[in-house]
Amino acid sequence: MTPSASSTDLPAPRRRPWRALALLAAAVALAHVLLLGLLPLGSEPPPLPLAHSFSTREVVIAPPAPAAAAAAPARAAPHAAPRHPVHRPAPVAAPRPLAEPEPPAPTLPAVEVATAPEPAPSAPAPQAAASAPAEVVSADTDNGGGSQRGGLLGPGGGDGTGGSGDAPSGPTAGTPTAGATVPLQLPGSVKLDFDATGQQGMQPMSGVFGELTWLQDGDRYNARLSLKVLFRTIRAQTSEGRIGPQGIAPERFSDRRRSEVATHFVRDTGEIVFSSANTRVPLQPGAQDRLSILMQLTALVGGDPACYTSGRTISLQVAGPRDADVWTFRVEGDETVATPSGEHLARRLVRLPRREYDQKIEVWLAADLGWLPVRIRQTEANGDFADLQLRSADKAQ
């Protein structure tokens, strides 16, 4: 008689696979926590003031009407007196007051647009040099590009100590000229998502994405460019200010990593004040910060694309966390750019470095997206770079 099998002879239960998966998930989460602890930004930036009040319509700032149209006669022609005799005098209407002339439309200061120098003719006409506008300079003229490390994207982390803080004297590029005007077209509120790649020393940039938020209500604007890893912001630049005849008029710019440094545009005193360096420099008309310059370039090219052709330059004062200098962007022409959002025909503008530690900044503005940036690339003097390429564009919610 065969003995019955006891319970001790049963096969041991198999270990459930979910336990191994749980241990692996815990290890990955712990690694992420340790990684986040090493990231430079300590807390998330506050929400933008216009997050719940914005406009999705474009703002078009056109040049003022010609003076002849503004000076059109406003007085109405007087009524002819009746020719037939009357027995009693006809009532005389009180004379109409003359319409006061309308105040002139605000004049847009000139954003300096220069063409590349052309070959001089063999026999120049007399007084040819005197007829050339003094404020237009060639792209080869050194206008003090300044060293501003850690600019638009700032992979290297430097905040800039180079470059003179004083505004250039004389009719240099970026100085508005009285009476000159340029049309501008600012886009409606939008959020642009970017994939980010780059290199910092021996460490490649991976798992990083960028987010550019632009909000405007027709009078004020907010902008923020954030670099994020997972769900945490590692760097954020914020610009706030007004929209005026010159387009974007920044009031405050901040750069936030472990702590925040701010730059204030004090228009009452005509100064740019740097909170981190306790210094100030003269504020030039049309001045921008390192973030608002992106949208100002969009507005300029969108206002008159035919004006910004290959070889032209745009020069504006640009302020960072600790200094301000004149940046000159040269239009390199149109090219097809392949991005995660698809191919775009874009106009490429380049800020070429002029000094040893200047950054090279390249911006591609796409015509099919209202000249919004679809690619932004910043290259440091040591070869470090950060490259943002558009993944999606949506109206801000």
Residue 36 belongs to a domain: no
| Residue 290 scores a pLDDT above 90 | yes
Which tokens is 233 given? 């912001």
Per-residue model confidence as pLDDT tens digits over 342-385: 999 999 999 988 788 888 999 999 999 999 999 999 999 888 99
The total number of structural domains that make up the chain: 1
Q: How confident is the model at residue 43 (pLDDT cuts 50, 70, 90)?
A: low
Q: In the chain, pLDDT over 70 holds for what percent of residues? A: 57
Residue 45 belongs to a domain: no
| C-alpha separations of 300 from 39, 173, 183, 250, 315 in Å | 36, 16, 7, 16, 12
Residue 233 belongs to a domain: yes
Q: How confident is the model at residue 269 (pLDDT cuts 50, 70, 90)?
A: very high
Residue 106 belongs to a domain: no
Whether the model pTM is above 0.85:
no
Torsions phi, psi for 278 (to 5 deg): 55, 40
Residue 219 belongs to a domain: yes
Other beta carbons within 10 angstroms of residue 332's beta carbon come to 15
Q: How confident is the model at residue 258 (pLDDT cuts 50, 70, 90)?
A: confident
Q: How confident is the model at residue 98 (pLDDT cuts 50, 70, 90)?
A: very low
Residue 321 belongs to a domain: yes
| Residue 100 scores a pLDDT above 50 | no
Q: How confident is the model at residue 202 (pLDDT cuts 50, 70, 90)?
A: confident
Cβ-based neighbours of 88, under 8 Å, separated by 6 or more: none
Residue 343 belongs to a domain: yes
Per-residue model confidence as pLDDT tens digits over 110-133: 344 443 444 444 444 433 333 333
Query: Could you list the residue range(s) of the whole structural domain that residue 143 is in?
Result: 137-395
Residue 113 belongs to a domain: no
**Residue 200 exposed, middle or buried by CB count within 10 Å (0-12, 13-18, 19+):** middle
